[in-house]
Structure 1
């Protein structure tokens, strides 16, 4: 039993990266990376976020310490793995999700899975820079177009990714991860919800120079309250220090208020 528990702990730590542990925090904020991304950027948020929040960042297979593992085949596989890894962290705790770009989908479907299977739901879902799965405004590529050249064109159009990442000689790992993630993202389908799926509050963030987004459509998936913010910048507006600071402060304030009103 002890050996199995240790093995599960190691597995969970591979999936969930918490660099700055704060077990006395009131909330667990779980951050989901963008397509091609790893856990490091969001894991560092824990360094200067208020003590009421402990930050956990999701690390998908095929990157960082999981480099030798094969990429997930679909969103269901990703969600199943994340949910299992998160259960020991979020059970009995107040927790919230933040997802950027592809991470918005991953956060949403993980929240939905946790609610339907375990009756657990984040107190708040924060999504960024991606229309919801049912929106007609989301970019959807034909499978024949999922080649490096077409993907690079789309990603350069949304903006915010350094040019070096589009050079397969300088950053082959990023190219491979990006293509793998976009195949999964492209395969996700969802109809307009006939009934609300979640009951938590949702807040959307997006960049003023990003391609047209239908962030308002996120209100369709919850019976909770909805809010939306447009911050200066492109698809990766959140990497601007002033925007990062705004998001962290907003999340912290929102979660602290929810603790007093719950």
Structure 2
């Protein structure tokens, strides 16, 4: 059962392939690059369904399918960042025949950073770029105990951040289905950090809504500490789920940065409010 719903629900025209870990949107021509999208806590691949055909014909999109939800409902949930990053990295190895860019939103941003580190350290492959959204960098994270509290506290936090279909939270039968995955993800979030600002071997792009209740623009700017290969911050209108209302602008920006001629080795000035 999906725990979140995107604003753009049109079914892509391309065929959609599904394996255990990724919902795959094949390129319509021979792929020259791949984009791996890593959803937020409580999120699912369906939230990013509209991204499947939002890029050029030579970009293949993979969206992570976390266990314990939707069509992986029977798979046990994962409760540590280390195990989740290990499994996502292992599942990604067959797709490294072309350059891979990572995009992670909220919890997915921390996961994307961990996957980028594993790809380089364990397999000698640097991602083309790391894109992180609405999440503090590893050295600024603080432990939280929300996952140890009751269901109502979890649901209230999900509502505060937004981005989740309200019917999943109000219908008792649906809540019973989705709450284990939400609790598992908030266990990951609550027990991860702070960590060293381990640098990645690729440019880093950061994105945040200017009204995000969970992360400040200044905190998002501190991702530069892991980005010796170049860093750029974009500040867009909106809250923690700015990427719903700013879908077109965000996707077009990422699409431009996927092209091989684009580089941030010398990072341009950040766009948005000063930080």
In the TM superposition, what is the alpha-carbon distance from 1:191 to its structure 2 partner?
3.2
Indicate how the Cα distance of structure 1 residues 236 and 227 shifts in structure 2: closer, same or farther if over 3 A, else same. same
Q: Which residue does the alignment assign to 1:253? A: 256
Q: Which residue does the alignment assign to 1:200? A: 202
Q: Is the 8 A contact 1:17 1:43 kept in 2?
A: no
Give secondary structure in 2 for the equivalent of 1:126.
strand
In the TM superposition, what is the alpha-carbon distance from 1:17 to its structure 2 partner?
1.1
Deviations 1:141-190 (A, max 9, x none): 23675332322333333334343343261532332211110001111123
Q: Is the 8 A contact 2:229 2:264 kept in 1?
A: no
User: What's the TM-score once normalised by structure 2's chain length?
Assistant: 0.80
CA distance in structure 2 between the partners assigned to 1:34 and 1:46 by the alignment: 17
Give secondary structure in 2 for the equivalent of 1:72.
coil
Structure 2: runs of 5+ lacking an equivalent: 1-17, 266-275
Residues 206-225 of structure 1: matches in 2 within 5 Å? 206-211=208-213, 212-213=215-216, 214-225=219-230
Q: Which residue does the alignment assign to 1:191? A: 195
Give RMSD over aligned pairs. 2.4
CA distance in structure 2 between the partners assigned to 1:88 and 1:132 by the alignment: 28
Indicate how the Cα distance of structure 1 residues 20 and 170 shifts in structure 2: closer, same or farther if over 3 A, else same. farther
CA distance in structure 1 between the partners assigned to 2:237 and 2:263 by the alignment: 31
CA distance in structure 2 between the partners assigned to 1:150 and 1:134 by the alignment: 26
Q: Is the 8 A contact 1:198 1:221 kept in 2?
A: yes
Structure 1: runs of 5+ lacking an equivalent: 1-11
Answer yes or no: is 1:124 the counterpart of 2:129: yes
Give secondary structure in 1 for the equivalent of 2:120.
helix
Q: Which residue does the alignment assign to 1:230? A: 235
Q: Is the 8 A contact 2:79 2:185 kept in 1?
A: no
In the TM superposition, what is the alpha-carbon distance from 1:140 to its structure 2 partner?
3.7
Residues 1-262 of structure 1: matches in 2 within 5 Å? 13-22=19-28, 24-90=30-96, 92-135=97-140, 138=141, 140-142=143-145, 145-167=148-170, 169=172, 171-172=174-175, 173-193=177-197, 196-211=198-213, 212-213=215-216, 214-240=219-245, 243-258=246-261
Structure (1 or 2) with the greater helix fraction: 1
Indicate how the Cα distance of structure 1 residues 126 and 186 shifts in structure 2: closer, same or farther if over 3 A, else same. same
CA distance in structure 2 between the partners assigned to 1:40 and 1:22 by the alignment: 20
Q: Is the 8 A contact 1:19 1:43 kept in 2?
A: no
User: What's the TM-score once normalised by structure 1's chain length?
Assistant: 0.84
Indicate how the Cα distance of structure 1 residues 144 and 169 shifts in structure 2: closer, same or farther if over 3 A, else same. closer
Indicate how the Cα distance of structure 1 residues 13 and 257 shifts in structure 2: closer, same or farther if over 3 A, else same. same
Q: Is the 8 A contact 1:52 1:252 kept in 2?
A: no
